[in-house]
A and B are shown apart, each in its own frame.
Chain A
Amino acid sequence: ETGVTQTPRHLVMGMTNKKSLKCEQHLGHNAMYWYKQSAKKPLELMFVYNFKEQTENNSVPSRFSPECPNSSHLFLHLHTLQPEDSALYLCASSPWGGGGPQETQYFGPGTRLLVL
């Protein structure tokens, strides 16, 4: 496996379900990110982890709960979602989480989520 992988690629869930999204990076990076991508809207940064510590939480509703057990793995736990949460959820990683060209973010293929 290389790069950034995400599972599942597609997910349909009801509003009362609990599910988890998984992200794994094989790049040796120390920063990992969760983004939400909705049609025709900018990428929305949800959470950032740097060396397993959460450094950013962009006012994300508590029905989204991140977990980062180590620098290679990132989870997004979903609970009692709303239909407006339907979107593409992208995971990314970067070497250190700072600025500059060396901080290029590498993205996974995303999980397409549909909440019914």
Chain B
Amino acid sequence: GQNIDQPTEMTATEGAIVQINCTYQTSGFNGLFWYQQHAGEAPTFLSYNVLDGLEEKGRFSSFLSRSKGYSYLLLKELQMKDSASYLCAVNGGDSNYQLIWGAGTKLIIKP
């Protein structure tokens, strides 16, 4: 079956670094997305990985290992505004239109 796993909740300290993991089992693979969703707001796109390796974008980086079915989102120099849910989604279903979504990781930043 199709499945995305990510931790339900994580806590980190302002200024620190946090890594949010995502593992997936899908019938196919055509890329992995990370989205950020603040409470009561729309999910917003953070990153996309389709090849193995690290993609860096400012304070945020995303890593992919296709052989392991594994990705992580790395957030550096954490700020209070980074408190949000982080959603992992894989384009790998039977249809090009469908993203398979994880349930999201709620990240709590403490001063």
**Please, how many residues of chain B have a CB less than 8 angstroms from a CB on the other chain?**
26
Residues of A within 8 A of B102 (CB): 42
Are B101 and A56 in contact (CB-based, < 8 A)? no
Quick one: CB contact mask for B94-109 with A, threshold 8 Å, 1 for yes?
0111111111100000
CB of A61 within 8 Å of the partner chain:
no
Q: Are A107 and B44 in contact (CB under 8 A)?
A: yes
Interface residues of A (CB under 8 A from B): 4, 31, 33, 40-43, 45, 48, 50, 55-56, 90, 97-101, 103-110, 112
Q: Which residues of B contact A (CB under 8 A)?
A: 4, 8, 30-31, 33, 40-45, 48, 50, 87, 89, 91, 95-104
Cβ-closest chain A residue relative to B41: A109
Report the minimum CB–CB distance from A105 to chain B (whole Å): 7
Partner of B98 from A4, A45, A106, A108 at Cβ < 8 Å = A45
Q: Give the residue name and chain of the B residue nearest to A6 (CB).
A: B42
* B41 and A98 contact, CB distance less than 8 A: no
